[in-house]
C-alpha cells in the first residue's frame, strides 16, 4: 500500500506576521492573477528557469533519487512532477501550444487550488539538488522550488517558522531572538563548561574591534548544539587566533535563500557586511550551517551593496588546511566510538566541502565508516531548507522524508551496540536528525564535526 495520505501543509504565518517581514498579503480573489504576474517576471529574468520549464523529457531518472519521493511515495513528490505543478501553468499562459490546446498538452488554468498545491509540495522539497545531480539535462528542480516559494511569499503565503525566523533575524540577528546580554551570558557559561570538562581556558570575545577573524556561528549552537560552538572556541584559542563573534549576526543561516531571496536574504547580507566593517575585521569564517554556507559563498557578492573586501571561508576549510600542514596536534583516540558522516547537501553538491570534511574526520576519529552512497551522491537528511515543522502532520512527514537517510545510517553498523556517532556538520541537519535517530531507533548520537575536533585537540 502506498504511504501517501494526501496533501499536507505547514502552519502558515498570519497576515500580521507577514507584515513584520514587509509583505502585505494578497487577497484570495487576486492571488491567481498576481501569481501569473510574478511568474511572468521570473521567466523574463531567469533563463535557467525557462530551461527547466521547457526541457524536461519526463525520463524519471529523478524519481528513485529523491528521498522525499522514496519516503512518501506520493507521485507529486517526484521532482519532475513537483516542477510540473508550475510547468502546467507556465505552459497554459506562456507557450503557444498551451494557449491553443490547453489540457491536451498538459496545460492548466491558474487557481487557488493550484496555489495550495504549490504550498504543500514546495515545502516538502528540501532543495537538496540530488535530482539536478542525476538529471541528464542538468535541470535543477530545486531552482523551480525556490521560485515557487518566492512567488508564494509575494502572495503572502509563507510558513510561520520561516516568517518568524526572518523577523527575528531583522530584529536581533539570530533566529532565536537572543539579545546581546543573553549571547554574552551563554558564552560565559560555555567558557565555564569547557574549563570543567576539558580543563582549558577559553574566552568567547563578542564585538571585539580589529579582530583578524569574525566567526559566524549558527544561533542553534547557543541552545541545541553547544559542543559545536565550544569546539569552535577551543579551535580558535588553540591556534592563538585574534577572533570575535559579532552580537548583531549570530546566525550562520540565511533563511532568505529558502523563501525570500529579495528583501530577507539581501537584508541579512547587509547586516553581515555592516558588522564586518564596524568591527574592522580581516576575514569572515562561517560556522556549521549547510544552506547558510551556500548562501554566503554563492550569493553574497551578487547581493552586496558594496565591494566585498573580506575573504569568506568555512571553519572546515580552516581546520582542514592546518591538519594538512601538521599544525594541529590531535588525538583521535579521544573519539574512539564508531562514527559515520552525513554529508550536508549544500556542502557537497554546491560548495566543495567533500574532501575537507573527510580530512578532518579521519584525523579526529579512530573508527570512521562511510555511508553508501556518500559525498556528492549523498541522500538528504530530510529536513533541508528548514522544513523543520513540528505540527503533528508535518512532523510525521519529516520522519518519512528521513527514511532513506535512516537506512544509510543503519547499513554502516555504527549504531549496532547503541554507542555510535552520526556526525552531522550542519545546524539544520542536526535539528532534523535529533528526532530522526529516535524515531528510527538507530542507536547513535548526533554530533557536529567541530564537536569532534574540540574533543580531539591535544593542548600544549
Residue that the C-alpha cell 504550498 belongs to: 119
The DSSP-derived string for 50-76 is: HHHHHH-----TTGGG-HHHHHH--GG
Residue that the C-alpha cell 514587509 belongs to: 22
Question: Is it the case that residue 3 has pLDDT exceeding 80?
Answer: no
The arrangement of secondary structure in 173-321, i.e. its CATH architecture, is: Up-down Bundle (1.20)
- Asked if residues 79 and 412 have their Cβ atoms less than 8 Å apart, the reply is no
Beta-strand ranges (E) seen in 196-311 are: 213-216, 243-244, 283-286
| CA–centroid distance for 385 within its chain | 5
Residues 301-310: tens digit of each pLDDT? 999 999 999 9
Residues 292-349: tens digit of each pLDDT? 999 999 999 999 999 999 999 999 999 999 999 999 999 999 999 999 999 999 999 9
What percent of the chain has pLDDT above 90? 97
Residues 90-133: tens digit of each pLDDT? 999 999 999 999 899 999 999 999 999 999 999 999 999 999 99
Question: Is it the case that residue 1 has pLDDT exceeding 80?
Answer: no
Question: Is it the case that residue 231 has pLDDT exceeding 90?
Answer: yes
**Long-range pairs of 412-416 with CB within 8 A, sequence gap ≥ 24:** 412/338, 412/340, 412/369, 412/370, 412/371, 413/338, 413/369, 414/338, 414/339, 414/340, 414/369, 414/444, 415/442, 415/443, 415/444, 416/443
The average confidence (pLDDT) of the chain is: 96
Write out the three cell numbers for 185.
Answer: 551570558
| CA–centroid distance for 63 within its chain | 22
- Asked if residues 256 and 289 have their Cβ atoms less than 8 Å apart, the reply is no
Residue 241 three-state SS: coil
Q: What is the pLDDT of residue 7?
A: 82
Domain ranges of the chain: 3-163, 173-321, 329-456
Residue of 425 and 7 predicted with greater confidence: 425
Tell me if the pTM is above 0.75.
Answer: yes
Q: How confident is the model at residue 6 (pLDDT cuts 50, 70, 90)?
A: low
Q: What is the pLDDT of residue 460?
A: 78
Question: Is it the case that residue 426 has pLDDT exceeding 80?
Answer: yes
Q: What is the pLDDT of residue 280?
A: 98
Please give the average per-residue pLDDT across 130-155, as a whole number. Answer: 95
Residues 22-47: tens digit of each pLDDT? 999 999 999 999 999 999 999 999 99
Question: Is it the case that residue 5 has pLDDT exceeding 80?
Answer: no
Tell me how far apart the alpha carbons of residues 66 and 384 are, in angstroms, rounded to a whole number: 13
Amino acid at each position: 500500500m502506498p504511504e501517501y495520505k494526501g496533501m499536507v501543509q505547514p502552519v502558515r504565518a498570519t497576515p500580521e506576521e507577514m507584515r513584520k517581514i514587509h509583505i502585505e498579503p494578497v487577497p484570495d480573489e487576486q492571488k491567481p492573477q498576481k501569481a501569473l504576474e510574478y511568474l511572468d517576471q521570473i521567466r523574463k529574468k531567469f533563463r535557467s528557469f525557462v530551461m527547466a520549464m521547457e526541457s524536461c523529457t519526463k525520463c524519471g531518472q529523478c524519481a528513485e533519487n529523491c528521498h522525499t519521493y522514496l519516503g512518501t511515495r506520493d507521485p507529486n513528490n517526484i521532482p519532475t512532477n513537483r516542477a510540473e505543478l508550475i510547468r502546467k501553468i507556465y505552459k497554459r499562459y506562456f507557450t503557444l501550444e498551451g494557449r491553443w490546446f490547453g489540457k491536451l498538452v498538459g496545460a492548466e488554468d491558474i487557481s487557488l487550488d493550484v496555489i495550495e498545491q504549490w504550498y504543500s509540495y514546495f515545502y516538502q522539497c528540501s532543495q537538496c539538488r540530488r535530482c539536478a545531480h542525476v538529471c541528464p539535462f542538468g535541470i535543477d528542480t530545486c531552482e523551480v522550488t525556490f521560485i515557487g516559494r518566492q512567488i508564494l511569499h509575494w502572495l503572502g503565503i509563507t510558513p510561520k517558522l520561516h516568517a518568524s525566523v526572518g523577523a527575528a533575524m531583522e530584529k536581533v540577528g539570530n533566529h532565536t531572538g537572543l539579545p546581546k546580554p543573553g549571547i554574552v551570558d551563554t558564552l560565559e557559561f560555555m567558557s565555564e563548561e569547557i574549563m570543567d570538562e576539558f580543563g582549558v581556558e577559553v574566552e568567547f570575545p563578542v564585538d571585539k574591534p580589529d579582530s583578524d577573524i569574525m566567526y559566524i556561528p549558527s544561533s542553534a549552537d547557543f541552545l541545541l548544539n553547544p559542543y559545536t560552538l565550544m569546539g569552535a572556541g577551543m579551535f580558535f584559542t588553540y591556534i592563538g587566533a585574534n577572533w570575535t563573534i559579532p552580537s548583531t549576526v549570530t546566525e550562520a543561516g540565511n533563511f532568505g535563500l529558502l523563501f525570500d531571496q529579495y528583501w530577507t536574504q539581501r537584508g541579512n547580507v547587509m547586516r553581515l557586511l555592516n558588522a564586518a566593517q564596524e568591527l574592522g575585521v580581516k576575514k569572515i569564517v562561517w560556522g556549521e550551517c549547510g544552506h547558510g554556507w551556500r548562501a554566503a559563498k554563492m550569493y553574497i557578492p551578487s547581493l552586496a551593496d558594496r565591494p566585498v573586501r573580506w575573504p569568506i571561508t568555512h571553519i572546515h576549510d580552516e581546520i582542514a588546511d592546518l591538519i594538512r600542514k601538521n599544525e594541529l596536534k590531535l588525538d583521535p583516540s579521544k573519539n574512539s566510538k564508531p562514527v559515520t558522516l552525513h554529508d550536508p547537501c549544500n556542502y557537497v553538491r554546491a560548495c566543495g566541502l567533500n574532501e575537507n570534511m573527510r580530512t578532518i574526520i579521519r584525523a579526529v576519529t579512530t573508527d570512521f565508516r562511510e555511508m553508501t552512497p556518500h559525498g556528492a551522491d549523498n541522500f538528504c537528511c530530510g529536513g533541508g531548507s528548514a522544513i523543520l515543522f513540528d505540527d503533528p502532520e508535518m512532523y510525521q512527514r519529516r520522519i518519512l522524508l528521513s527514511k532513506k537517510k535512516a537506512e544509510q545510517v543503519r547499513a554502516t553498523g555504527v549504531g549496532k551496540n547503541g554507542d555510535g556517532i552520526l556526525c552531522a556538520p550542519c545546524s539544520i541537519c542536526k535539528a532534523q536528525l535529533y528526532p530522526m535517530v529516535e524515531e528510527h531507533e538507530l542507536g547513535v548520537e548526533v554530533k557536529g564535526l567541530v564537536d569532534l575536533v574540540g574533543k580531539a585537540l591535544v593542548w600544549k
